[in-house]
Chains A and B, each alone.
Chain A
């Protein structure tokens, strides 16, 4: 096999953008969009993996390499971006702003690929921000009210996350003097630095309470963009956390407790808030929060019991792969449902969609069950007290996911057909569902033990099904209708007051006496004499400042003697 240069992985989408500058070539280039993910896929599957690349002249000295975890992430990331890109081409075939979307899509794709191979802080941070900022364009694409709101919330969270990541990385780099990203997990890095960097990554991961942007963005973006947001980009947060957190070293109980609290909140909130949503994409987004919280729980467990990290890490990778494929299949399935008329086609599409849904819910026999079980068996040696709530939490996660999946499928089943959506959006979606089946066996993960199925493992799915049937029956019998709340959770409760209308200007009243009109008519802007005043003021202030702390130099001369040189 030809050795693939690793820099080609992020460079391929960028090259395509550069070529986009030629208007004549655009039509031909557009159809190449899915192929921009090909180098990444080849690099992920290559055995032996591509050689590391050292680029001393790039940024602060960049290094690209692909380790086992990176290869697993790059594998599903590449598949998702490729297939989502294909569907985006079909879905947006007649969109006037298609090229703007595709440019943002390619930029975010390059960022997502790049951060998985970047080994140093500067290039990781560059790719990470490129992905975050370019995704703003994906969220805003529809330019409706929902998109504007989602875009605002998204960019606010993204920028705050970036800044926290910057601060954390800068502090870490200074403490160790090492620009390698993995140095963040080394000894001697101040806990504040790790916390800041992790905070920035947790925003991307969608951990509660930093998740507010997530449901809004996912339901506002076009479906292929939601698929990569949820399937690939959230995982970038997980990937970063797996590197910067000091996992597998000494236990760090405080951080473990904080992360576990966030994860638990996510596991509870995701079904609670997701079930009441009226938009299937929003329901799917809440399910992503739950699933990502499950992965955060794995990280928390590894922080509490470092000994189990060697088992937890492959389990997390497996969970990430499974969630990526299943959730992306569901998101790409949304336009597929829109494109299919009610009747046999719709039923076939929904039945196919039930496969990834069941896998996510962890039905025994599916990959989802396998992955969840891997996590469950990996978490051992935990401190006293953790086990008390961990088992119920894992059960809750499965139950919540199953309920959310049923809700999403029900909403999709009753969705109206959109004649504007072309039928060929079905192809990439079907490709992904097929690939998901094969994909898990292809994915480069090792170190997970085989398992046996117990009858009790069916309990979450069965319970969820029963709940759903009961709820449906109840609603039908009592003639109840359900009105979903406004999106945005706490942010949705606020409305910005419209700007007050400017008052009509009144002419100033005639001047009668000076005493009453002391300040009227005075210009409120800077005036010339203020320049000299400001200089005087600053001189005085600086002099005062400088005189306050006694200078360390001895005062031996009187200042009046200075005139003689």
Chain B
């Protein structure tokens, strides 16, 4: 029965996608019902899976395609972290997307690909070897493109083209790296502390080149500078898609890929021995500063949030690249924390646009009076991003800072301090305008948003608060990452 749960979790979205794609656009109730039922079922199944994995059950699902090439789904602690994040946020994003888009056109197409997108994320999370990871990673690229261009405007198509150029280029690098590594090492399964055995001693140069190819491949999705250009442009997509890109699936898949490559393909000792950890950390540091720096000058709210993602996702990479268990805890916890904080911000920003037509920072005046609920959620998300305790972002920053010292890199503290200041510099003016500036003259009250748009950001904002306040409670994101890191480093 060890194959049942992974398969069921995959099928709750992969099996549902064609069903939704084939529905007529008018079947609104049926589509919403199927969507929400599948998403809720998945959350329940993932909860079951987490319980089993925490008690040491192992899961395995294999399907051989050719000699030495098999699709392999499994579930380890790291999978569960990503699965739990994506399934809970997917449920909330689905509710939000139904409220946001059910008035529009091409809804079956949208929700079909939406499901496919999350199916790929699930596959990425449960991939048991590099080949399976690659398959789902590419599927994610293709499934996301129709969502990015959903609105069909020329701007959306341009963003879609650029998205494809970046991600397919990255996919090519990843594919090359994978083939080379398979040729060198045979089947590359994901195992804690790496699977390369004595190859690092025999061919370090090839392994270095492969590492660069693999990281460049997943680095596109993780928006590492200079591979981040597609992300700020993709913000033309509807708000639920932005949430999906920035918090649930795409960017997270990239960061998750970096973790898998460093921890479970190479292993931290090999990465360090090859001298690859320091350049990766330097790249992450550069991305953190550059993203924040670019965010400062953006007037478009979603663009500012997009550059903030560029910066914040690299905290995860930094935590991985510092090669210290403490930093790893920070990085892994930030995978979850950044997800819930950023989704809160994007959902709230979507509500500003939908309710009051506010899309720029300049127009944020008086939002606290106009939409108090959404503004409160936005505030929680923004303060969390800055790293104000007791919100989630503080916990990851604390561990990253301690991890930097642990790794003998005290500059990390300065980096975190600088990044916090930059974060404050681009988030606090928004809060100031929202809460303390009077609404512009003659502004008319916008449309009232239904519960489907109001509940998801409120829920995620509560999660941001809970993840920080209850950080030491069992089954908090921090508690779970400690468990994972103990497997990788002990």
Q: List residues of chain A with CB under 8 Å of any chain B CB.
A: 56-61, 100, 122-123, 125-126, 129, 133, 137, 140, 143, 151, 155, 159-160, 162-164, 166-167, 170-171, 173-174, 525-532, 534-535, 537-539, 542-543, 545-547, 549-557, 559, 561-563, 565
Contact = CB atoms under 8 A, between A and B. Distances in A.
A56 B471 CA distance: 10
Interface of B: 161-162, 164-166, 169-170, 173, 180, 182-186, 200-206, 208-209, 211-213, 215-216, 219-220, 224, 226-227, 229-230, 233, 273-276, 278-279, 282-283, 368, 383, 386-390, 394-395, 397-398, 401-402, 405-406, 410, 413-414, 416-417, 420-421, 424, 428, 432, 435-438, 468-473
Contact of B413 (A58, A137, A170, A539): A170
A107 to B, nearest CB: 12
29 contacts: A57-B470, A60-B472, A122-B390, A133-B383, A143-B436, A159-B424, A163-B421, A164-B417, A166-B398, A166-B417, A170-B401, A171-B413, A173-B402, A531-B162, A531-B165, A531-B220, A532-B166, A534-B229, A535-B170, A535-B216, A539-B212, A539-B213, A543-B209, A547-B208, A551-B208, A551-B274, A551-B275, A553-B273, A562-B184
A565 B183 contact: yes
- Give the residue among A122, A160, A554 with the most B Cβ atoms within 10 A: A122
Contacts of A123: 390
A159 B431 CA distance: 14
Contacts of B398: 60, 122, 166, 170
Given A543-B208, A556-B202, A531 B183 contact: no
Given A129-B388, A174-B405, A526 B233 contact: yes
B472 A57 contact: yes
B208 A546 contact: yes
Given A122-B389, A122-B398, A140-B432, A59 B273 contact: no
A531 B212 contact: no
A137 B230 CA distance: 37
B275 A57 contact: no
A297 to B, nearest CB: 29
B254 to A, nearest CB: 13
B209 A565 contact: no
Contacts of B283: 542
Contacts of B416: 166-167
Contacts of A133: 383, 388
Given A58-B470, A137-B435, A538 B219 contact: yes
A529 B165 contact: yes
Contacts of B388: 129, 133, 162
B372 to A, nearest CB: 10
Given A552-B273, A562-B184, A565-B185, A538 B224 contact: yes
Nearest to A175: B405
A565 B276 contact: no
Contacts of A57: 470, 472-473
Contacts of B389: 59, 122, 125-126, 129
Given A170-B401, A535-B169, A563-B183, A546 B203 contact: no
A546 B276 contact: yes
Given A155-B428, A546-B279, A528 B435 contact: no
A401 to B, nearest CB: 34
Contact of B204 (A527, A529, A538, A555): A555
Nearest to B468: A59
B356 to A, nearest CB: 19
Contacts of B169: 531-532, 535
A161 to B, nearest CB: 11
A59 B203 contact: no
A555 B468 CA distance: 47
A138 to B, nearest CB: 11
A565 B205 contact: no
Contacts of B436: 137, 140, 143, 151
A48 B230 CA distance: 63
Contacts of B215: 542
Given A122-B389, A527-B162, A559-B206, A551 B273 contact: yes
Given A59-B469, A166-B401, A535-B169, A526 B435 contact: no
A510 B216 CA distance: 43
B421 A61 contact: no
A140 B472 CA distance: 35
Given A57-B473, A552-B275, A166 B226 contact: no
Given A159-B428, A171-B405, A546 B275 contact: yes
Contact of A555 (B205, B229, B401): B205
A174 B390 contact: no
A100 B165 CA distance: 48
Given A551-B274, A559-B209, A562-B183, 11 more contacts: A58-B469, A60-B395, A143-B438, A159-B428, A525-B233, A531-B166, A535-B220, A539-B213, A546-B208, A546-B276, A553-B274
